[in-house]
Amino acid sequence: MKEINVNAKGTATAAVNETNTAAAMGSGSLKVFATPAMVALMEASACNCLADFLDEGETTVGTALDIKHISATPVDMAVTAEATLTEVNGREFTFEVKAFDESGEIGCGTHKRFLVFAEKFTAKTYEKLNK
């Protein structure tokens, strides 16, 4: 991995539509942006923060989330997530994450990711099928 400093930032944006509502994703019954969709967008923003610093064969996996979903977003509105790298501890990365719709902040929290070597990680995971 190339050197990365704290305060690096990444973003990700999604349009709220019928496929990412709470009703569609099974996380509720309303046609509003689902919490799991917001979390996935926050993770994507953290991945985007690190993407330019990874060497070939490297990737990161999510290991921890502490998220609050504080405001609902209707269908036909855009949501943007931002991740700011706050700590690097060896191969572990900690982010402050926030999400915003066109009216303001809708979510916040912390997210951790861990650097892994894709081929080795995948092989070890699929060994579970042989047990």
Active-site option among 21, 60, 69, 82 = 69
Does the annotation mark 3 as catalytic? no
Active-site option among 43, 60, 73, 94 = 43
Does the annotation mark 102 as catalytic? no
Active-site option among 11, 13, 21, 35 = 35
Distances (CA, A) of 60 to 38, 74, 89, 94, 106: 19, 31, 14, 12, 25
Distance (Å, whole) CA 83 – CA 1: 19
Does the annotation mark 63 as catalytic? no
Query: Is residue 109 a contact partner of residue 73, using CB atoms and an 8 Å limit?
Result: no
Residue of 15, 16, 21 lying closest to 36 (CA atoms): 21
Active centre residues (catalytic): 35, 43, 69
